[in-house]
Amino acid sequence: MTTYAVLLPGDESVWENATPEQRRAAYDRHGRFAALLAERGHRVVGGAELTHSREALVVRGDLDRVTVTQGPYAETVEQLTGFYLVRSDDVEDLARACGLLAGSDAVEIRACVDHAGEVAS
């Protein structure tokens, strides 16, 4: 099995302006997604919802000689809002299952690399 990062970019202002009902519906969709992955033999091994990108720290420089700025690394409307780490031997099926989260947005799936420089398995 390979470990994949399922990256969830989105417009953070949509989430900030969402009603409690809209937020509940989004969390319910993520619950259905996790259940769907389990039904199809994929295994969620990690992941998290991320805080707003304005709370990010961007670090540049060398060890102990760094410049730290606040805010997102990339000045774009869409930011990384969360991610899943999923172990799977069927990336095509994983992609189809990610359609539950994608809707009109995009979901990015990338294989993780192990310490030996190979695709993680």
Q: Tell me the pLDDT tens digit for each residue of 51-66.
A: 999 999 999 999 989 9
| Average pLDDT value for residue range 84-110 | 93
**Which band of pLDDT confidence, cut at 50, 70 and 90, is reported for residue 119?**
low
pLDDT for 61 equals: 94
3-state secondary structure 55-71: HCEEEEEECCEEEEEEC
> Could you tell me the residue ranges of all domains in the chain?
2-50+77-111
Q: What is the mean pLDDT of the chain?
A: 91
Residue 115 has pLDDT above 80, yes or no: no
Q: In terms of pLDDT, which residue wins out, 77 or 108?
A: 108
| Average pLDDT value for residue range 82-87 | 97
73-88 burial code (b ≥16 CB/10 A, e <16): eeeeeebbbebbbbbb
* pLDDT > 90: percent of the chain: 78
Looking at the structure, give the CATH architecture of the domain made up of residues 2-50+77-111.
Answer: 2-Layer Sandwich (3.30)
pLDDT for 121 equals: 57
CB atoms within 10 A of CB 72: 16
Q: How far is CA 34 from CA 15, 55, 84, 111, in A?
A: 20, 27, 10, 19
Residue 118 has pLDDT above 70, yes or no: no
- What predicted TM-score, i.e. pTM, was given to this entire model? 0.86
At how many degrees (to 10) do helices 20-39 and 91-102 cross? 170
pLDDT in tens, 9-28: 999 999 999 999 999 999 99
